[in-house]
Amino acid sequence: MDLLIQIAGDALVVGAFYSLIALGYTMVFGIIKLLNFAHGDIYMLGAFIGYSLLSWLTGGGSSSAGIMGIGVVFLLTMLIVGGVGVAIQRFAYRPLLAMPRLSILITALGVSLVLEYSAMIAWSPNFLVYPLQLPHAGWDVFGAHITYSQVAMVLIALVLMYGLHLFIAHTLYGKAMRAIALDQTACKLMGINVNKVIALTFFIGASLAAGAGMMAGAYYGTINFMMGFIIGLKAFTAAVLGGIGNIPGAVVGGFVLGIVETAGTFFIGGSWKDVVAFSILILILVLKPTGIMGEKTMERM
């Protein structure tokens, strides 16, 4: 029982990270049918910008900066990285929207490399210790230790996801996003500023990934410029698992992948966790390409 509870606690935190990043993948794919493989590096950038802001807040030392200060840094990180996401969309992707999909896919890979090596030059090629130490206090449940920090991270992720749901379901811009996902040409004819809505989509996706990056940096304790590569692929796996283009599916896929991967780490070994994750991707693509919550669609000619 204690082992199962410990696995569940760790799995929910990891699944929350995957879900936040997968939302960016699925939103962008749903609107412009782009697999944005630079999205994992947006998560990395969020971790590094959070690192710099926290270092400034704490004076370069690893200390408790106060909940208010950490909250402000968290929001600032999301806003800054969201702006970077909009800039990437404007200068790297928008000029290629009318081109073959292969062109924009190759561009996404190029943007990924630019972000990775820009971070290496700007910060360091080495692992950096995050200037925020999470408290280890928590609850002992049947012998398992669940920390307050783990609960807080999962709750923050759920609040962000629920906020996104409310935005998509009940706002004018959310309605515009859903309409563009169905028929971009018709939306242009109806007077919707499609480029503005696409930019907003990139802003939201990048902001959520940045929030996940900062939380992951604090949770794991160290960051490096390549940290976004593998987790970006895993978040893509989560998006495919839930049904890419489906927002609730991205959330479900992220948590399912987090649970399966964490369980595999405990029972098989940490060296096999990536094998477990990508085996799931292969199985889903073979057995149910639409994912858990995806639906079959017909393309009109």
Q: How far apart are CA 39 and CA 44, in angstroms?
A: 9
Radius of gyration, CA atoms only, the chain: 19
Q: What DSSP element (H or E) covers 141?
A: strand 138-141
Which H or E run includes 170? Answer: helix 148-170
d(CA 55, CA 49): 10
Q: How far is CA 282 from the centre of its chain?
A: 21
Give the tokens for residue 72.
Answer: 């402000």
Question: Phi and psi of 223, rounded to 5°?
Answer: -135, 160
Q: How far is 222 from 130, CA to CA, in rounded Å?
A: 5
CA-wise closest residue to 161 among 46, 259, 251, 245: 251
Q: Which domains does the chain have, with CATH numbers?
A: 2-287 (1.10.3470)
> Cβ(221)–Cβ(130) under 8 Å?
yes
Contact assessment for residue 197 and residue 177, using Cβ atoms and an 8 Å cutoff? yes
Tell me how far apart the alpha carbons of residues 280 and 25 are, in angstroms, rounded to a whole number: 18
Supply the pTM of this predicted model. 0.89
Q: What is the dihedral of CA 76, 77, 83, 88, to 10 degrees?
A: 170
Number of helices (H), then strands (E), in the chain:
11, 4
- Three-state SS letters, 267-292: HCCHHHHHHHHHHHHHHHHHHCCCCC
Per-residue pLDDT tens, the chain, 301 aa: give them: 667 777 788 888 889 999 999 998 899 888 888 888 899 999 999 999 999 998 888 775 555 556 777 888 999 999 999 999 999 999 999 988 888 888 888 999 999 999 999 999 999 899 999 887 777 777 777 777 788 888 889 999 999 999 999 999 899 999 999 999 888 888 888 888 999 999 999 999 999 999 999 999 988 889 999 999 989 988 888 888 888 878 888 899 889 888 888 887 777 766 777 787 788 778 887 888 787 776 555 544 4
> β-strands 222-223, 138-141: how paired?
unpaired
In one-letter notation, the amino acid at residue 40 is G
